[in-house]
């Protein structure tokens, strides 16, 4: 009678995998459901350490937001020509041109109903997020092309997106840097939060100091995690809305756990 262990008995994954294949053949011959369950569990135990969440450079080294995945899937239903025209128009709006609702409706294939209008706005928001984040992170065209394909765009659609990105990248980056300089002296929005830490040498030292400035479409966040450590993060308007939404969701979950 065979006995099985849920842990890896040998240090080599290759040798253990050979044993798994042998026992899997026994499962097929004996038609034993329990052995098949064991095999699948052992296979998961063997390789689940290697499964990592995909990180994307245009998302600043983090996972792609769920809402953006949905918008990318919706964009993939457009023709590559319409996608390129839509991306070009959104890029022009970042540079100061007003958004033309008629063009958006034409390129997205939506009608004038409220639901369709919201869907079209969501498409524009997704494209705007990708452009601003990719430009801000200084993602190269080949890298962004590969990442968009990983997220579901076809080769043709990704190429159409990248064509506009390549043409507008330098101009948008200049615009973002200009806005950054404006933000440094802007009085449109300012906030400062100091979190006090433990007593050190008779004095209370701040563990974290967060200051927030916002102007136009880009916000600048300064995070001090110590007397000599300073981190600067630039957020677009879309980033701020997503952050607020996620914080509200986290608060809702915490309240539900307390009740």
Q: Rounded to an integer, what distance in angstroms lies between the CA atom of residue 16 and that of residue 39?
A: 12
* Token pair of 106 as six digits: 């034409």
* Cβ-contact 147, 57 below 8 angstroms: yes
Q: How far apart are the first and last CA of the chain?
A: 50
Average pLDDT taken over every residue of the chain? 72
Task: List, for residues 37-66, the tens digit of each pLDDT value.
Answer: 555 555 555 554 444 457 899 988 888 888
The SS3 assignment for 241 reads helix
Domain ranges of the chain: 13-50, 61-184, 190-258
Lowest mean pLDDT among 90-99, 189-198, 201-210, 220-229: 189-198
Total number of residues shown for the chain:
259
């Amino acid at each position: 009678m065979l006995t099985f262990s849920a842990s890896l008995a040998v240090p080599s994954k290759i040798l253990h995998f050979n044993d798994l294949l042998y026992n899997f053949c026994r499962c097929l011959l004996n038609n034993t459901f329990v052995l098949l369950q064991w095999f699948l569990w052992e296979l998961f135990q063997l390789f689940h350490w290697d499964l990592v969440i995909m990180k994307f450079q245009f998302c600043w080294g983090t996972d792609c937001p769920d809402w953006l995945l949905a918008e990318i899937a919706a964009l993939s239903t457009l023709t590559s020509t319409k996608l390129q025209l839509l991306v070009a128009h959104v890029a022009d709006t970042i540079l100061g041109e007003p958004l033309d609702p008629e063009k958006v409706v034409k390129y997205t294939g939506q009608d004038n109903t409220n639901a369709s209008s919201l869907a079209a706005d969501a498409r524009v928001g997704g494209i705007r997020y990708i452009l601003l984040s990719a430009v801000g992170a200084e993602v190269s065209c080949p890298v962004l092309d590969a990442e968009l394909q990983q997220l579901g765009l076809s080769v043709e659609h990704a190429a159409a997106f990248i064509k506009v990105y390549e043409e507008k990248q330098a101009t948008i980056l200049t615009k973002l840097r200009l806005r950054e300089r404006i933000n440094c002296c802007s009085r449109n929005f300012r906030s400062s939060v100091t979190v006090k830490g433990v007593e050190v040498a008779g004095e209370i030292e701040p563990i974290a100091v967060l200051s927030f400035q916002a102007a136009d479409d880009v916000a600048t966040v300064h995070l001090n995690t110590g007397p000599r450590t300073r981190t600067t993060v630039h957020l677009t308007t879309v980033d701020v809305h997503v952050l607020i939404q996620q914080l509200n969701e986290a608060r809702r979950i915490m309240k539900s756990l307390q009740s």
